[in-house]
Amino acid sequence: MVDTLKDLYPSRTIKPTAMLERLDPVVYGGEYGPLSRIQLDSYRDNGFLFFPSFFSADEVAPLVSELQRLCRQPGIARQEGVITEPASEEIRSIFEVHKRSAVFHDLCRHPRILPMAEQLLGSDVYIHQSRINYKPGFEGKGFDWHSDFETWHTEDGMPYMRAVSCSIILTDNTEFNGPLMLIPGSHKYFVPCVGETPEDNFRSSLKQQRLGVPDKHSLRRLIRQGGGIQAPKGAAGSLLLFECNTLHGSNANMSPDPRSNVFFVYNSVRNAPRRPYAASKPRPGFLAEREDFTPLTSR
Amino acid sequence: MVDTLKDLYPSRTIKPTAMLERLDPVVYGGEYGPLSRIQLDSYRDNGFLFFPSFFSADEVAPLVSELQRLCRQPGIARQEGVITEPASEEIRSIFEVHKRSAVFHDLCRHPRILPMAEQLLGSDVYIHQSRINYKPGFEGKGFDWHSDFETWHTEDGMPYMRAVSCSIILTDNTEFNGPLMLIPGSHKYFVPCVGETPEDNFRSSLKQQRLGVPDKHSLRRLIRQGGGIQAPKGAAGSLLLFECNTLHGSNANMSPDPRSNVFFVYNSVRNAPRRPYAASKPRPGFLAEREDFTPLTSR
Q: What is the pTM of this model?
A: 0.90
Q: At what angle do helices A37-46 and A114-121 cross, to 10 degrees?
A: 70
Question: Are residues B256 and A220, on separate chains, in Cβ contact within 8 Å?
Answer: yes
Query: 3-class secondary structure for A45-70?
Result: HHCEEEECCCCCHHHHHHHHHHHHHH
Mean pLDDT of B196-223: 76
pLDDT interval class at A173 (50, 70, 90): very high
Sign of the dihedral defined by the CA atoms of residues A78, A81, A82, A84, in that order: positive
Mean pLDDT of A182-192: 97
Question: Are residues B137 and A220, on separate chains, in Cβ contact within 8 Å?
Answer: yes
Q: In this structure, how many other beta carbons lie within 10 angstroms of the beta carbon of residue B179? A: 22
pLDDT of residue A279: 80
Which domains can be identified in chain B, with CATH numbers? 20-268 (2.60.120.620)
pLDDT interval class at A2 (50, 70, 90): very low
- Give me chain B's average pLDDT, please: 91
Question: Are residues B254 and A255, on separate chains, in Cβ contact within 8 Å?
Answer: no
Closest Cβ opposite residue A254 in set B137, B181, B256:
B181
Percent of chain A with pLDDT over 70: 93
Question: Are residues B216 and A249, on separate chains, in Cβ contact within 8 Å?
Answer: no
Give the model confidence (pLDDT) of B166-199 as tens digits: 999 999 999 999 999 999 999 999 999 888 777 6
Find the residue in A nearest to B141 (Cα).
Answer: A251
pLDDT of residue B136: 85
Question: Are residues B138 and A175, on separate chains, in Cβ contact within 8 Å?
Answer: no
With CA atoms as reference, report the closest residue to B278 among B215, B211, B217: B211
Statement: residue A145 has pLDDT above 80:
yes
- Give me chain A's average pLDDT, please: 91
Least confident of A91-95, A230-234, B2-6: B2-6
- Backbone angle region of A150, left / alpha / beta, with phi > 0 → left and psi within -120 to 50 → alpha: alpha
At A51, phi and psi to the nearest 5?
-120, 95
Cβ(B295)–Cβ(B274) below 8 Å: no
User: A251: which chain B residues are within 8 Å (Cβ-Cβ)?
Assistant: 142, 178, 251-252, 254
pLDDT of residue B2: 44
pLDDT of residue B207: 55
Cβ(A171)–Cβ(A257) below 8 Å: yes
Give the model confidence (pLDDT) of B81-111 as tens digits: 998 876 677 888 999 999 999 999 999 999 9
pLDDT of residue B206: 58
Find the residue in A nearest to B256 (Cα).
Answer: A220
pLDDT interval class at A4 (50, 70, 90): low
Find the residue in A nearest to B253 (Cα).
Answer: A251
A101 has which bridge partners? none
Strand order across the beta sheet in which B180-182 lies: B143-146, B248-250, B180-182
Can you give the length of chain A in residues? 299
Find the residue in B nearest to A176 (Cα).
Answer: B229
User: B249: which chain A residues are within 8 Å (Cβ-Cβ)?
Assistant: 254
Closest Cβ opposite residue B249 in set A219, A220, A254:
A254
Question: Are residues A251 and B137, on separate chains, in Cβ contact within 8 Å?
Answer: no
Give the model confidence (pLDDT) of B103-147 as tens digits: 999 999 999 999 999 999 999 999 999 999 988 888 778 889 999
User: A85: which chain B residues are within 8 Å (Cβ-Cβ)?
Assistant: none
Please tell me the distance from the alpha carbon of residue B278 to that of residue B196, in angstroms, as a whole number: 8
Statement: residue B3 has pLDDT above 60:
no
Angle, alpha carbons B152-B154-B157 (nearest 5°): 65
Interface of B with A in 233-252 (CB under 8 A): 249, 251-252
With CA atoms as reference, report the closest residue to A239 among A101, A102, A112: A112
Interface of A with B in 137-166 (CB under 8 A): 137-138, 142, 145
Closest Cβ opposite residue B256 in set A138, A219, A231:
A219
Question: Are residues A231 and B175, on separate chains, in Cβ contact within 8 Å?
Answer: yes
Please tell me the distance from the alpha carbon of residue A189 to that of residue B115, in angstroms, as a whole number: 53
Give the model confidence (pLDDT) of B278-296 as tens digits: 788 888 899 999 999 999 9
Q: In this structure, how many other beta carbons lie within 10 angstroms of the beta carbon of residue B88? A: 12
Statement: residue B210 has pLDDT above 70:
no
Mean pLDDT of B25-33: 93
pLDDT of residue B203: 64
Q: In this structure, how many other beta carbons lie within 10 angstroms of the beta carbon of residue B232? A: 20
pLDDT of residue A195: 80
> Which one is predicted more confidently, B165 or A2?
B165
Q: In this structure, how many other beta carbons lie within 10 angstroms of the beta carbon of residue A267? A: 28
Statement: residue A203 has pLDDT above 80:
no
pLDDT of residue B101: 96
Statement: residue A157 has pLDDT above 90:
yes
Q: Does B282 touch chain A (CB under 8 A)?
A: no
With CA atoms as reference, report the closest residue to B26 among B227, B246, B251: B246
pLDDT of residue B273: 93
User: B229: which chain A residues are within 8 Å (Cβ-Cβ)?
Assistant: 176, 254-255
Question: A125: distance to nearest CA of chain B, Å?
Answer: 33
Please tell me the distance from the alpha carbon of residue A175 to that of residue A252, in angstroms, as a whole number: 10
Mean pLDDT of B56-85: 92
Mean pLDDT of A273-277: 85
3-state class of A127 per DSSP? strand
pLDDT of residue B245: 98
Mean pLDDT of B13-26: 91
Give the model confidence (pLDDT) of A82-140 as tens digits: 988 766 778 889 999 999 999 999 999 999 999 999 999 999 999 999 999 988 888 77
pLDDT of residue B4: 52
How far, CA to CA in Å, does A138 sit from each of A134, B87, B147, B193?
12, 22, 16, 16
Percent of chain A with pLDDT over 90: 72
Query: 3-class secondary structure for chain B?
Result: CCCCCCCCCCCCECCCCCCEECCCCCCCCCCCCCCCHHHHHHHHHHCEEEECCCCCHHHHHHHHHHHHHHHCCCCHHHCCCEEECCCCCCEEEEECHHHHCHHHHHHCCCCCCHHHHHHHHCCCEEEEEEEEECCCCCCCCCEEEECHHHHHHHCCCCCCCCEEEEEEECCCCCCCCCCEEECCCHHHEECCCECCCCCCHHHHHCCCCCCCCCCHHHHHHHHHHCCCCECCCCCCCCEEEEECCCCEEECCCCCCCCCCEEEEEEEEHHHCCCCCCCCCCCCCCCCCCCCCCCCCCCC
Question: Which amino acid is residue A110, in one-letter code?
Answer: H
Mean pLDDT of B23-31: 94
Give whichever of A42-51, A196-205, B6-15 has the largest mean pLDDT: A42-51
Mean pLDDT of B51-58: 97
Statement: residue B66 has pLDDT above 80:
yes
pLDDT of residue A294: 96
Please tell me the distance from the alpha carbon of residue B180 to that of residue B240, in angstroms, as a whole number: 10
Sorted by sequence, the CB contacts under 8 Å of residue A110 that are 6+ apart come out as A298
Question: Are residues B216 and A138, on separate chains, in Cβ contact within 8 Å?
Answer: yes
User: B231: which chain A residues are within 8 Å (Cβ-Cβ)?
Assistant: 175-176
